[in-house]
């Protein structure tokens, strides 16, 4: 019993007819505006080298841990889905079989944003008109692969099709950013593609391999990193390089938001001990928080916006991590505390007009309690949109409802897709535009906003606020 697959023009809008009419009007106004994607994980090589996508599994399934984890949660072996990315032993027939597994478990995605994204991709991008199922799996697979073999489905063409004006990638501080250089030099690429400075592992002296990273940092910069002061200078050096290559932000994802700096002398001592492999966990945690304070200080000087993605217990299942590596679905959020943790940083830089910090999170309890109030007061603090596990319709509505009343619309950043699933970028932004239109429409019909105010806001969410929050000029 093959079911048709369609996507409704009114999807995600509220059911109540007047509210829906307003939502539709607001959405109409923004639906075709260019996409600004100020934080994400698309590999820049894909675009620089315009590498064609291999097949549906390689594009939509294997690299997408949002999708993988749902299947894994029902007992599907990640290996059968091609995980980890980059395996050379995964045959074409196995890829096709992986797609069949996905399609035959398609009911699992009901009620999830993955279903929303996937269906918009299938219908809008690939022209599929049947619902994924065991019966339709092969036909869909073949239809997608046929499209992928055409020039119109190579990454650069899709950037144009998707109308992506700005795309930030995420990059290691020691990366030479050669792909970015290539793209910047190529007038045929209309999208502005910039790097993002992501130094996490250089700040975590308690992790295996830190000393080698710090050695490499020294080698790359020509600055001796045998002291805390050297680390600072080398980091400033690499931030400058990223900035010169177009970066607008640095990204930081640690287990807590701590920014309490050690006194300089103590920082030097702990740093030295860490270099000798003799620092305690407590000491390396304190050093990491000191580094974060220094990152904020640098940000207040070089103007790179800080984005904070805290409090995820990475690789919760050790055996899965050992077999398949990181980013395969085993990351679980924990609670966030922001008020005390950010106090040192905000006391020092919170009202500095050159400093900006965007707080993301997966802990909804801090929205109305901590993040909204901090953003409402501090000129430097912005509220990032719901992130991973909560970048979905109901959660976005809860976020707007919790943050707006005292954090205000104007201290939010617009939508951030934060994805490595290239093909889902338009769908994710579409989802956000629809949900935001719905939230605004609710305020309009309740006479809490005039229509012209809502119209201005709908535009601001998509264009003005991301540009303002991330210092983007496109």
Of 70 and 235, nearer to a copy of itself (C-beta) is 70
Which parts of 305-334 interact with a copy of itself (CB under 8 A)? 313, 316-320, 329-334
Which parts of 363-402 interact with a copy of itself (CB under 8 A)? 363-365, 368-370, 372-379, 381, 389-390, 392-395, 398, 401-402
Q: Quick check: 170 binds a copy of itself (CB under 8 A)? A: no
How many of the chain's residues bind a copy of itself (CB under 8 A)?
94
Among 163-171, 189-197, 274-282, 441-449, which window interacts with a copy of itself (CB under 8 A)? 441-449
In the list 134, 450, 471, 474, the residue contacting a copy of itself (rule: CB under 8 A) is: 450
Of 90 and 109, nearer to a copy of itself (C-beta) is 109
Of 232 and 357, nearer to a copy of itself (C-beta) is 357
Which parts of 6-25 interact with a copy of itself (CB under 8 A)? 7-8, 10-16, 18-19
Of 182 and 410, nearer to a copy of itself (C-beta) is 410
Which parts of 268-297 interact with a copy of itself (CB under 8 A)? none
Of 40 and 350, nearer to a copy of itself (C-beta) is 350
Q: Quick check: 28 binds a copy of itself (CB under 8 A)? A: no
Q: How far is the CB of 184 from a copy of itself (least distance, A)?
A: 32
Q: What is the 3-state secondary structure (H, E, C) of the chain?
A: CCCECCCCCCCCCCCCHHHHHHHHHHHHHHCCCCEEECCCCCCHHHHHCCCCCCCHHHHHHCCCHHHHHHHHCCCCCHHHHCCCCCCCCCCHHHHHHHHHHHHHCHHHHCCCHHHHHHHHHHHHHCCCCECCCCCCHHHHHHHHHHHHCCHHHCHHHHHHHCCEEEEECCECCCCCCHHHHHHHCCCCCCCEEECCECCHHHHCCCCCCHHHHHHHHHHHHCCCCCCHHHHHHHHHHHHHHHHHCCCCEEEECCCCCCCCCCCHHHHHHHHHHHHCCCCCHHHHHHHHHHHHHHHHHHHHHHCCEEEECCCEECCCCHHHHHHHCCCCCCCEECCCCCCCCCHHHHHHHCCCCCCCEEECCCCCCHHHHHHHHHHHHCCCEEECCCCCCCCCHHHHHHHHHHHHHHHCHHHECCCCCCCCCHHHHHHHHHHHHHHHHHHHHHHHHCCCCCHHHHHHHHHHHHHHHHHHHCCCCC
Q: How far is the CB of 319 from a copy of itself (least distance, A)?
A: 7
Q: Quick check: 75 binds a copy of itself (CB under 8 A)? A: yes
Q: Quick check: 94 binds a copy of itself (CB under 8 A)? A: no
Q: How far is the CB of 362 from a copy of itself (least distance, A)?
A: 6
Q: Quick check: 405 binds a copy of itself (CB under 8 A)? A: yes
In the list 101, 184, 339, 463, the residue contacting a copy of itself (rule: CB under 8 A) is: 339
Site string for a copy of itself, 115-154 (x = CB under 8 A): xx--------------x-----------------------
Q: Quick check: 72 binds a copy of itself (CB under 8 A)? A: yes
């Amino acid at each position: 019993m093959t079911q048709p697959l369609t996507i409704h023009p009114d999807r995600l809008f509220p059911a109540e007819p007047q509210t829906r009419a307003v939502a539709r009007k607001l959405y109409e106004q923004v639906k075709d505006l260019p996409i600004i994607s100020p934080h994400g994980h698309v590999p820049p090589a894909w675009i620089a080298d315009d590498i064609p996508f291999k097949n549906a599994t390689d594009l939509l399934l294997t690299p997408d841990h949002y999708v993988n984890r749902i299947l894994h949660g029902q007992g599907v072996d990640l290996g059968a889905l091609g995980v980890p990315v980059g395996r050379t032993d995964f045959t074409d027939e196995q890829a096709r079989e992986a797609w069949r597994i996905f399609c035959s478990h398609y009911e699992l995605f009901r009620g999830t944003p993955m279903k929303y994204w996937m269906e918009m991709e299938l219908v809008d991008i690939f022209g599929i008109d049947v619902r994924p199922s065991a019966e339709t799996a092969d036909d869909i697979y073949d239809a997608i692969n046929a499209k992928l073999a055409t020039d119109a489905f190579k990454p650069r063409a899709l950037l144009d099709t998707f109308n992506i004006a700005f795309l930030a990638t995420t990059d290691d501080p020691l990366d030479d950013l050669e792909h970015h250089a290539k793209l910047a030099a190529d007038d045929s690429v209309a999208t502005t593609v910039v790097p993002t400075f992501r130094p996490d592992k250089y700040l975590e002296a308690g992790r295996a391999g830190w000393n080698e990273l710090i050695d490499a940092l020294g080698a790359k910069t020509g600055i001796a990193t045998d002291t805390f002061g050297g680390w600072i200078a080398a980091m400033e050096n690499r931030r400058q390089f990223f900035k010169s290559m177009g970066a607008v932000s640095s990204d930081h994802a640690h287990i807590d938001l701590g920014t309490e700096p050690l006194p300089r002398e103590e920082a030097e001592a702990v740093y030295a001990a860490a270099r000798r492999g003799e620092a305690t966990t407590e000491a390396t945690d304190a050093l990491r928080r000191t580094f974060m304070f220094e990152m904020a200080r640098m940000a207040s000087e070089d103007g790179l916006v800080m984005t904070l993605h805290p409090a995820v217990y990475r690789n919760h299942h050790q055996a899965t991590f050992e077999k398949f590596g990181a980013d395969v679905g085993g990351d679980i959020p924990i609670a966030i505390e922001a008020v005390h943790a950010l106090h040192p940083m905000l006391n020092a830089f919170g009202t500095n007009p050159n400093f900006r910090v965007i707080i993301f999170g997966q802990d909804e309890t801090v929205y109305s309690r901590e993040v909204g109030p901090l953003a409402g007061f501090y000129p430097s603090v912005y509220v990032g949109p719901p992130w991973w596990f909560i970048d979905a319709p109901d959660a976005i509505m809860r976020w707007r409802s919790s943050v707006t009343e005292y954090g205000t619309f104007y201290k939010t950043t617009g939508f951030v897709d934060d994805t490595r699933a290239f093909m889902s970028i338009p769908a994710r932004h579409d989802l956000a535009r629809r949900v935001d239109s719905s939230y605004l429409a609710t305020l309009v019909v309740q006479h809490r906003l005039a229509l012209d105010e809502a119209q201005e806001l709908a535009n601001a969410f998509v264009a003005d606020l991301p540009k303002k929050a991330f210092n983007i000029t496109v």
